[in-house]
Amino acid sequence: MVSKLRNLLTTPNLGVLLSLCAIHSLNDLLQSVITAVYPMLKQNLDLNFAQIGLITLVYQIAASIFQPVVGYAFDRRPFIWSLPAGMVCTALGIVLFSLSGTLAGILVAVFMVGLGSATLHPEASRITSLSGRARRGFAQSVFQVGGNFGGSIGPLLVALIVAPHDRRWVLWFLVFSALSLMAVRPIVRWYRGYVRDLRSNPASHVSSLSMPLSCSKTLFTIGVIVILIFSKYIYMASLTSYYTFYLIHKFGISVSQSQVFLFIFLVSTAIGTLVGGPIGDKYGRKPVIWVSILGTAPFSLLLPHVGLTATAVLSFCAGFMLSSAFPAILLYAQELLPTKLGMISGLFFGFAFGVGGIASAVLGDFADIYGIETIYNVCAYMPLMGIVACLLPSLKGRRLPS
């Protein structure tokens, strides 16, 4: 009987995790449509690279500013309908994005999509940690790989559905919005039960939890994590926002072909994410963070100097290595502040989005002035900043709320 109870308390709730994976996949699929349509959007509205960067900046800022706010608010007062509300906001943004004929309308559309993302990510990540129980690294990998898979298949679907026609065909992606609202139902049921139990017996969820480090050491450690996210997402922004333009410019391939290469890169990020979490459960978060970010440098440094086939291989390797870090980074940060899961998730998702948005805008100006290829020669050095991971203290074995 004791063994069965122990298994119940330590085994992840796979039904809820798979639903979380599904909604993350569908949500990020819808978000990836925006960047995948950039070449068409640039041509339709006669935009320059700086304006493309501005679109990304508005989207990322909307997501990054509101994520920690949402996380903090729902840590204090959980709201079971938060995920469906975020999905509806994203769907409305997709509709406006497909129909707007002005830059201002596009900016409003991506702001709404960003707001939907700001609601989904911290809440879903917190529910993932809670439902993952003792295997939180595995749970976060399952959740994150859903987003990576959705983000990777989005450009491929754009190439098949939208590219042969026009931007209005983005409306077909509302089918995925409807599917996400169906997939969220078991999560809402499970979360309703969790919130009811939390309110009736709060001590059982937060007892014996404390910060593993002093306040000063915690602040220093968070600063190190910020540097690591900074290095990771600047390089990631160069690939997610400008990789297709780079391939078209350097190798003369078509828009549809460039989407296939972007798909290859994004699939690598899904695989890397799935691997990183379980390894962190077994060996600790710090080794995964260190190896993942610093280990990307050999591939990023070689990428600007090779042909088309080797570029695809190196981008796959770089995406695999770099993406395996985020589940470990997020769980490490949650272990630093174990009673603030939503706020920490929102803060680090938001910071990652914000860094990506600012980097996209700066890199857009950089590409207009110095050329698209120069981006990859400069950003190739960013993963070398992963060396600062040696400053992270080990937190292996720390508890989180159940």
Read off the CATH number of the domain in which 173 is found: 1.20.1250.20
348, part of any domain: yes
Q: Which residues contact 239 (CB under 8 A, 6 or more apart)?
A: 265, 315, 318, 319
CA dist., res. 147 & res. 113, Å (int): 15
pLDDT of the residue at 12: 61
Asked if residue 232 belongs to a domain, the reply is: yes
* Residue 124 located in a structural domain: yes
Which residues span the domain enclosing 315? 15-197+212-391
Residue 202 lies in a domain: no
Contact 50, 106 (CB under 8 A): no
Supply the pLDDT for residue 2.
37
- If you average pLDDT over residues 321-330, what whole number do you get? 82
The answer to whether residue 402 is domain-embedded is: no
CA angle, 299 as apex, 297 and 305 as ends, to 5°? 115
Structure token digits, residue 269: 């990020």
Please check whether residue 2 lies inside any domain of the structure.
no
Tokens 């879903």 belong to residue: 124
Q: Residue 267 has which token pair?
A: 């699939």
Residue 268, pLDDT above cutoff 90: no
Is the pLDDT at 284 greater than 80? The verdict is: no
Does residue 379 sit within a domain? yes
Instruction: Identify which has the larger pLDDT, 16 or 63.
Output: 16
Residues 200-217: tens digit of each pLDDT? 766 555 544 567 778 888
Residue 215's Cβ-count burial label (10 Å; 0-12, 13-18, 19+) is: exposed
Least confident of 42-51, 58-67, 334-343: 334-343
For the chain, the average pLDDT equals 80
Least confident of 5-9, 137-141, 263-267: 5-9
Which amino acid belongs to residue 122? Answer: P
Whether 396 maps to a domain, the answer reads no
- Rounded-to-integer distance, Cα 48 and Cα 367, Å: 10
Cβ neighbours around 51 below 10 Å, total: 18
Phi-psi region of 10 (alpha: psi -120 to 50; beta: other; left: phi over 0): alpha
The whole-number average pLDDT for the span 290-318 is 91
Q: Are 285 and 396 in contact (CB under 8 A)?
A: yes
pLDDT of residue 386: 86
The pLDDT tens digits for 94-153 are 899 888 888 889 999 989 988 888 888 878 877 887 777 667 777 877 887 787 778 777
Q: pLDDT band at residue 300, thresholds of 50, 70 and 90?
A: very high
Confidence band for 314, pLDDT divided at 50, 70 and 90: very high
- Report yes or no: 154 and 25 within 8 Å, Cβ to Cβ: no
Backbone angles phi, psi at 281, to 5 degrees: -60, -40
Report phi then psi at 302, rounded to 5.
-85, -30
Q: What is the mean pLDDT of residues 327-334?
A: 80
Helix, strand, coil: what percent of the chain each, to 5? Answer: 85, 0, 15
Give the total number of structural domains in the chain. 1
Pairwise pLDDT comparison (156 vs 12), residue with the higher score: 156
Residue 47, pLDDT score: 80
- Taking only the tens place, the pLDDT of each residue in 213-233 is 788 888 898 888 888 888 888
The model carries a pTM of: 0.67
Residue pair 120/87 in contact by the 8 Å Cβ criterion: yes
**pLDDT of 24:** 87
What is the per-residue pLDDT for 327? 78
Tell me the CA end-to-end span of the chain in Å, nearest whole number.
20
pLDDT, position 298: 92
pLDDT at residue 51 in the model? 84
